[in-house]
Structure 1
Amino acid sequence: MEYQHGGDIYTNNVIMDYSANLSPLGLPRGVKEAVYKAADQCACYPDSRSMKLRKELSGFHGIPPEYLICGNGAADLIFQIVQALKPKNALLIAPSFLEYEQALKASSCNVAYFDLKKENGFQLREKELKNWLEKSGLDFQMLFLCNPNNPTGFAVNKEGMAEILEYCRDHGIFCVVDECFNEFLQEPEQYSVLDLIGRGGYENVFLLKAFTKLYAMAGLRLGYGICSQKEVLDQMNLIRQPWSVSSIAQAAGEAALKERSYVEKTRQLISCEREYLKSALSDLGFQVFDSMANYIFFKDLRPKALIREKLLYKQLLDRKVLIRSCFNYRGLDHTYYRICVKQRKENEAFLSILKSIVTEGK
């Protein structure tokens, strides 16, 4: 089976991984200590209902604990929500995260696509989506929205999202909103639909969040979902594996919620270094799109890149640097790439290698 995502340091011999979008500060100290301590409890089964973690998340977000469900990473919950609702027809924004399509097709769901336009910078415009839905005449039961979108990094503000969610509510479409990268935004609350769910009236929404990216916990696997429709969560609980969230992951999540200064430091670092990288990539001749998250989406405009498949990916891999080729995203070709944002010293080293590749070809 071909590896479909970033972070494949197992197949490739790399010394620098720019393909996985995690906090550049690494695992927080408090989380690491919680992991060590939780290891002593590994002889016991974990709490299948993640009650303590859900209680902590309830207080953290200001929502009832019964709105919450935890999973073995966000991907686990993506498959669960699809299996729970079993839509016959679903709509995906393209390009976007690959796991949505995989989960839908595994459930024998028919998938249609709303293709983002290059001339619009691959940005989702809520009115265009609504008009397309109106004119399509298709009966959709589910829509996935990744905000900020992966791999493009653009986010739709809360007002725009509300417009889409209200349309879907009125037309019987259940929305899965993926906010796994929301906390990397400069003003995350301006783009989150969390308070909409908390206020009520959006029972057609399942909000997806994860510890994976923000706290650099990819290897621990911990995600959670928020939904005010009890029947949806009940159905998910019926089909999920009973011990899908380990006791170590639960302890790590509880500790992570206390790392507020870590989150703020991460956000400030990302904001500064993202602009630094975007400017540098543009100066090197790449077409850089307007990412707002902790990753940058760009296109290789070199003439030889048009005729040599995944040229930049291969050139960097020869130097033991891994980036994310976006070739397997719908609507993109082998000239599109995504890189994460790291700390300045790492970014300078990466750009030095990239500059040597670009200049040697001139």
Structure 2
Amino acid sequence: MIQQHGGNIGQLSNILDFSANINPLGSPESVKKAVAETVCDIEKYPDPYCTELRDRLGEHERISAENIVCGNGADDLIFRIVYAFRPERALICVPTFSEYSRALSETGCEIQEHILDEELDFELGESILTNLDRSLDMCFICTPNNPTGRLIAPEILAKISVKCLENNIILVCDECFMGFVEDSENYSLRQFLNEKCIILKAFTKLFAMAGIRLGYAVCGSSRIAERIQQSGQFWSVSALAQTAGIAALDETEYVNKTVRYITEERRFLAAELAKIGVKVYDGAANFLMFLSRIELAEELLAEGILIRDCANFSGLTEGFYRVAVRTHDENIRLINAVRRCLNG
């Protein structure tokens, strides 16, 4: 069962979903409470500029609110960025999140693929720099990358940022899974932000808010932010989502607890899967990619477990899978099921 994205359980019942990379600790109670209290005001239009949320995000990101754009999830912002600038030629690094190429294709953009090498565990290295020339208008990178989980080394990020600035290339860096990373500030493009940079972030994964779409873009230029703001629908972020985001920004201990939990469980899950005999790729996010036999996804589905078959990612083939890091008990259930499928 190859799906366009994870989390599409459809009519499946009694399924343990490892295909969606959502925080296993669940949404913070403060977020749920804030959303519940906002329901009373649903007859009112939301603030189209997300003024309070952007002010809070500006404090959180240590940047002017004028440099921030909020959207109906990061996916919404990907499309708004592409439609705002309508690049003629863009670079993406594959395998990666499919919505970059989907958005670019909708505008007729010519897409160039920089293929990440499996022999190098899909790490993005300096070889990308030769592709960053005046023929490009836009470049998408993702760290930690989806589905590989690999971080881009800070020194490579710095060089990419400079090269894009020198060649007038808009650099879009997707950091939607960065909140799960230890020492995340040391791996973020934020430290190398310039006027051609856009960093994508989302509340969806970290705060388990997939049902309330909320993402934001941190732009190196307020002019770029304004252009993105004017692209797409006017009321792009619901009042419920804005309230949820404001509440989530106070959840510092929740985030710290999440990072500790995910780090420990990811290492446990990776080690146990490797013992079974699958090839696990070293990642830093709340999911893992591994290589096994091509029948595994269907066999696990028969066990009541849904994983993400990655065969439809450009740059990958049959046998590559992505699994979320869930609770310890759920991770053990996955491990035992994979063992049964592979070893009998």
Shorter-chain TM-score bucket reads: over 0.9
Mapped partners of 2:142, 2:20: distance in 1 = 17
How many angstroms does 1:3 deviate by? Answer: 4.5
- 1:178 matched to 2:174? The reply is yes
The letter of the residue matching 1:124 is: L
Write the deviation string for residues 4-61 of structure 1: whole angstroms up to 9, x where unpaired: 1000111433420001111110011110100101111101111111000001111111
The 1-side partners of 2:240 and 2:109 are apart by: 35
1:331 aligns with 2:331: no
Alignment match, 2:143: 147
Q: Select between 342-351 and 112-121 the one with higher mean Cα deviation.
A: 342-351
Contact 1:157–1:192 (Cα < 8 Å) also in 2: no
Tell me the distance in 2 between the aligned counterparts of 1:265 and 1:122: 29
Give the C-alpha shift of residue 133 in structure 1. Answer: 4.1
Which residue in 1 is equivalent to 2:122?
Answer: 122
The residue aligned with 1:39 is: 39
- How far apart in 2 are the matches of 1:158 and 1:170? 18
Match of 1:313 in 2: 297
Q: Equivalents in 2 of 1:266, 1:157: separation in Å?
A: 23
Q: 8 Å contact 1:116–1:124 — kept in the other structure?
A: yes
SS in 2 for 1:239: coil
In structure 2, the residue matched to 1:189 is 185
CA-to-aligned-CA distance 1:150-184 (integer Å, 9 cap, x gap): 10001013332011110111112110000000111
Aligned to 2:147, what secondary structure does the other structure show? Answer: coil
In structure 2, what is the Cα distance between the partners aligned to 1:261 and 1:112?
Answer: 41
**Mapped partners of 2:202, 2:94: distance in 1:** 22
SS of 2:201's equivalent? Answer: strand
Distance in structure 2 (CA, Å) of the matches to 1:157 and 1:251: 34
Name the structure 1 match of 2:268: 276
- Per-residue deviation, 1:141: 0.6
Amino acid of the residue matched to residue 255 of structure 1? A
SS of aligned partner of 1:338: strand
Q: Give CA-to-partner distance per residue, 1:101-127, whole Å, 9 cap, x none.
A: 0000011100010001111011111x2
2:3/2:308 contact within 8 Å kept = no
2:220 alignment partner in structure 1: 228
Distance in 2 of aligned mates of 1:277 and 1:14: 22
After superposition, residues 331-350 of structure 1 pair within 5 angstroms as 331-350=315-334
Deviation, 1:204, is 0.5
Deviation at 1:147, TM superposition (A): 0.7
TM-score by length of 2: 0.97
The range that moved more, 3-12 or 88-97, is 3-12
Q: How does 1:132-171 map to 2 (within 5 A)?
A: 132-133=131-132, 139-171=135-167
Tell me the equivalent position of 1:245.
237
Query: So what's the TM-score if we normalise by structure 1?
Result: 0.92
* Residue range with higher mean Cα deviation, 96-105 or 316-325: 316-325
Q: Unaligned stretches of 5+ in structure 2?
A: none
Query: Deviations along 1:247-290, whole A, 9 cap, x unmatched?
Result: 00000000000011110110000110001010011001100111
Deviation at 1:337, TM superposition (A): 0.3
Contact 2:132 2:164 in 1 (8 A): no
Is the 8 Å Cα contact of residues 157 and 190 (structure 1) preserved in structure 2?
no
1:216 match: 208
Question: 2 CA distance for matches of 1:251 and 1:36?
Answer: 10
Q: How many residues align?
A: 343
Structural RMSD (CA)? 1.3
